[in-house]
Structure 1
Amino acid sequence: MEVCRVLSKKTYDRLGETVYQTTLTNGLKVLMVPKAGFHKTFAIMTTDYGAMDNEFVPRGQTAPVRFPDGIAHFLEHKLFEKKDHDAFDLFGKYGASANAFTGFTQTSYLFATTSHLKENLEILLDFVQDPYFTAATVNKEKGIIGQEIQMYDDDPGWQSYFGMIGHLYPKEPLHIDIAGTVDSIDKITADDLYAAYNTFYHPSNMNLIIVGQLDPEKALAWITANQDAKTFAPNEPITRIPSAQAQPADIVPTTTRHLTLTRPKVNIGLRGFDEVPAGRDGLTYSVAVSLMFDLLFNDTGDNYLRLYDANVIDDSFGYDFQVQRGAHFAQLAGDTDQPEQFASELTAILKDAPAQLAAAKPQFDLVKREAIGRIVGAINSVEGIANQYDGPLFDGATIFDELAILEQLTFDELLTAAKAFLDQSQSTVYTILP
């Protein structure tokens, strides 16, 4: 099979950046950003498959199957191990550091190197596209991942985060720990792994991002030669089975539990029940709501300074807004000696958000410039550029597109997005005490 060699080119003149991309005839999306003067190159290969995708119709079948929780993460672990070698050893031979991670909707494999880009790209493509699972190796991995799960069971930060998620998404697979449970992974078989792999690891469901010291034409030629030497099944649509959807009344409003820790932890979660726009409009929405939280809670604002001076929050306080495939939520979390006041003060600010945002309007340009500065800082990192690519979520938008959206965002657009999210959101407060 001959792979397409045509590269499209998009130049961001003011930033001095150029993005090269193409889709190969086997469906693999390739995006490259050469960085002049950089010694390091970073590559990441991602499949649109994560912990949420636990019920689907396997490739070649017609009926849906419910797979054990944690199978996407288990598959990530097992792909590195082959019959006669480990992919980590091959990367080490050519001076690269490699890793992988599984999220709610994606699984990624990556390496960073200052030399031997061709060889390391071939290792990445080959080990991701050549699965090897046996009953013996799968059973061995169960013990390893089981220890990892037990370690996180005792981690207050991890428990706080997934406790909050579980209360926001009590009926959806988002509430399940990405690694699954000891009992769920014990049910995983080699056949299960092959079924998940064959369904979601087709090139048409994957993308490859390369950023750093590279010649795009040469790199594409290497990738083309590698893919030409392989045979892939025909591209087929993937059928994911949607889970039951919780209603606002299903959200658990508050929970307190006890673990071994020195100071209480509080995690406030907000689940959006509004509909996130599709494509690039969805990225605009995400940027606007994120900036809303900056206006309300950034560390130079009135709310932060007042609560900091009152010892309600400290340097551990942070907030985040995420848009995933099929879900979007925010969290505000931190360690505090006053957990009840922490929850009541932050919840009151959110309930009073329209007035709070109106009062913060004079700080809008400053807060926006700070956000722009963070993105510009990420652009100076090869990992920052590659990891900001969300693939199909925002119609292939890059970090450079996100910067352009942020620069053009108006205060009225922020208010519109904030109202859409806050008016229909439901909240939970998850507290862990010593």
Structure 2
Amino acid sequence: MKDLATTVRFGETIYTLKLPNGLTVNLLARPQYHKTYGVLTTNYGSVDTTFIPEGQNEPVTYPAGIAHFLEHKMFDKEDYDAFDLFGKYGADSNAFTSYTRTSYMFSTTENAQACVTTLLDFVQTPYFTDEKVNKEKGIIDQEIKMYEDNPNWGLFSGIVKNMYPQTPLALDIAGTSQSIQEITAQDLNECYAHFYRPENMNLFLVGNFIVDDMISLIEENQAEKEFPPLTSPQYQFDYTKTDLLPYRMEERDIQQPKTIIGIKGLDQVPAGRAGLFYYFKIEILMQLLYSESTPQYLAMYNQGVIDDSFDYDFLLERGFHFATIYGNTKDPQAFVKQVIQIAENAVETIQNQTEAFELAKKELVGRLITSLDSLESIANNYEGELFAGATLFDVIPLIEKMELNEVVEVAQQFIKEEAISVYQIFPKEDDIQ
């Protein structure tokens, strides 16, 4: 265990171990808890569709939705189903795929070591056949149709397509009904071999266990397996240099217009912990511009331009970042005009708001401290190499030292007229009374 490192925050210790095969392991023991939560993540998501497979010389582009499809099929083995096996141990299990990562998790109050072994074994043991793959296509097609019928998802995916047209980001994480029909067992095996390597993955365990015993278990489990030589997967796109569509709209069977405004990150996010600091400066910026306590929000609300559905978000993942401001509105034109005006006047709006800035910091720190009580929040918010191994425990000191002039500076870098896009959904004409 010569590569074991420790990080002490708030009276708790996170043990970090880099195994010889490249797998990063983080362990946070909380013996006062009854539950143990574990998540195994690979740095591979829906945007990673183009790469050079092992033994080939040219890039291959795989069907949209293949990372999500692979996640579904990982649970289904030759002689067992991983969901059922976790259930026998008294554990819940699940998985999710995002744009840049795929995670497999379990939660249990008993048999924690058996659950860790099961998690490692089923994710590190691929088993795909054309018969099983074809059977899964109908199930995923139904999931795709469910999302297509959701207007809120349509609003979000619409603005992403505006900001990143002609890129993998413009395609739904689950793919399309057509694209998933093209997926074969060989495709899954090639994507698995390229991205599901231990050096491209991390395991985070938090809860009721003994650290030394858990480390020994994981080391023994990994030592018994053979993996290909260490190598770095390829990631193809620079999303900051892609074109942007300023406006699109569609009609749906809805009662009230929906509008979303996107601000595409054209600036370069700093590497490592500085990138994490950048993320939370944008979080504070958005809070100062659009939260319920701001004069801007209250003015729009009192005018009837926005209602309680109004919200904002900021997403930063490998290779791209963007903010969204969205909601239902009776006055779509005023919504767009006022939200964009707030963004474009950001520097003037916030540069003297020292009191509001300090309050925003305190509110954010308070939410983060509360989230430290959640095992799931601690493990799921770990981004691995994206932020140089930072955890939730590292975030609070960053925010506490943040200064208002740093948020003003990031507003100047991030908010640009050419980075703003609008997507709207209107009721169909036949639906208007």
Normalising TM by the smaller chain, what interval?
over 0.9
Identity %: 44
Query: In structure 2, what is the equivalent of residue 98 of structure 1?
Result: 93
Letter in 1 for 2:64: D
List aligned pairs for 1:290-301, cutoff 5 A: 290-301=283-294
Deviation of 1:114 (Å): 0.8
Q: Among 402, 408, 411, which residue is 1:415 paired with? A: 408
Under a length normalisation based on structure 2, what TM-score does the superposition of the two structures give? 0.96
Contact between 1:319 and 1:333, CA under 8 Å: does it hold in 2? Answer: yes
Q: Which one is further off, 122-131 or 55-64?
A: 55-64
Q: Among 191, 206, 216, which residue is 1:221 paired with? A: 216
Letter in 1 for 2:185: A
List aligned pairs for 1:355-374, cutoff 5 A: 355-374=348-367
1:146-194 Cα shifts (integer Å, max 9, x gaps): 1111111111011100100000001321111001111111111000000
Deviation of 1:29 (Å): 0.2
Name the SS of the counterpart of 2:412 in structure 1: helix
Query: In structure 2, what is the equivalent of residue 264 of structure 1?
Result: 257
Change in Cα spacing, 1:374 to 1:43, as seen in structure 2 (3 Å) is: same
Deviation of 1:285 (Å): 0.9
Whole-Å separation in 1 of the counterparts to 2:387 and 2:191: 25
Whole-Å separation in 2 of the counterparts to 1:244 and 1:99: 30
Query: In structure 2, what is the equivalent of residue 380 of structure 1?
Result: 373
List aligned pairs for 1:38-187, cutoff 5 A: 38-187=33-182
Name the SS of the counterpart of 2:162 in structure 1: helix
Q: Among 6, 10, 15, which residue is 1:9 paired with? A: 6
Whole-Å separation in 1 of the counterparts to 2:355 and 2:372: 28
Please tell me whether residue 341 in structure 1 is matched to residue 334 in structure 2. yes
Query: In structure 1, what is the equivalent of residue 15 of structure 2?
Result: 20
Q: How many residues were matched structurally? A: 427
Contact between 1:28 and 1:207, CA under 8 Å: does it hold in 2? Answer: yes
Contact between 2:51 and 2:59, CA under 8 Å: does it hold in 1? Answer: yes
Q: Which one is further off, 49-58 or 223-232?
A: 223-232
Deviation of 1:61 (Å): 2.8
Whole-Å separation in 1 of the counterparts to 2:27 and 2:309: 36
Letter in 1 for 2:258: K
List aligned pairs for 1:230-249, cutoff 5 A: 230-242=225-237, 246-247=241-242
Letter in 2 for 1:165: V
Name the SS of the counterpart of 1:222 in structure 2: helix
List aligned pairs for 1:385-396, cutoff 5 A: 385-396=378-389
Whole-Å separation in 2 of the counterparts to 1:348 and 1:397: 35
Whole-Å separation in 2 of the counterparts to 1:88 and 1:306: 50
Change in Cα spacing, 1:326 to 1:292, as seen in structure 2 (3 Å) is: same
Q: Among 19, 32, 39, which residue is 1:37 paired with? A: 32
Contact between 1:323 and 1:329, CA under 8 Å: does it hold in 2? Answer: yes
Name the SS of the counterpart of 1:33 in structure 2: strand
Whole-Å separation in 2 of the counterparts to 1:21 and 1:124: 18
Contact between 1:102 and 1:108, CA under 8 Å: does it hold in 2? Answer: yes
1:312-335 Cα shifts (integer Å, max 9, x gaps): 222211111111111010001111
Whole-Å separation in 2 of the counterparts to 1:6 and 1:218: 16
Letter in 2 for 1:257: E
Name the SS of the counterpart of 1:39 in structure 2: coil
Letter in 1 for 2:372: I
Name the SS of the counterpart of 2:256 in structure 1: coil
Deviation of 1:365 (Å): 0.5
Contact between 1:171 and 1:245, CA under 8 Å: does it hold in 2? Answer: no
Whole-Å separation in 1 of the counterparts to 2:351 and 2:89: 56
Contact between 2:95 and 2:105, CA under 8 Å: does it hold in 1? Answer: yes
Query: Deviation above 4 Å: which 4+ runs of structure 1?
Result: 243-247
Contact between 1:5 and 1:224, CA under 8 Å: does it hold in 2? Answer: no
Name the SS of the counterpart of 1:267 in structure 2: strand
Show structure 1 runs of 5+ residues with no match.
none
Letter in 2 for 1:123: T
Query: In structure 2, what is the equivalent of residue 253 of structure 1?
Result: 246
Name the SS of the counterpart of 1:270 in structure 2: strand
Name the SS of the counterpart of 2:351 in structure 1: helix
1:217-242 Cα shifts (integer Å, max 9, x gaps): 11111111211221111112223333
Deviation of 1:132 (Å): 0.8
1:13-60 Cα shifts (integer Å, max 9, x gaps): xx2221110100011000011224211111000000001100001133
Contact between 2:130 and 2:184, CA under 8 Å: does it hold in 1? Answer: yes
1:205-256 Cα shifts (integer Å, max 9, x gaps): 0000011112111111111121122111111222333368654xx3111222
Whole-Å separation in 2 of the counterparts to 1:155 and 1:278: 36
Letter in 1 for 2:121: D
Name the SS of the counterpart of 1:98 in structure 2: strand
Contact between 2:240 and 2:267, CA under 8 Å: does it hold in 1? Answer: no
Query: In structure 2, what is the equivalent of residue 306 of structure 1?
Result: 299
Contact between 2:237 and 2:319, CA under 8 Å: does it hold in 1? Answer: no
Contact between 2:89 and 2:111, CA under 8 Å: does it hold in 1? Answer: yes
Query: In structure 2, what is the equivalent of residue 398 of structure 1?
Result: 391
Show structure 2 runs of 5+ residues with no match.
428-433
Contact between 1:272 and 1:425, CA under 8 Å: does it hold in 2? Answer: no
Q: How large is the Cα RMSD of the aligned pairs? A: 1.5
Whole-Å separation in 2 of the counterparts to 1:372 and 1:363: 14
Name the SS of the counterpart of 2:143 in structure 1: helix
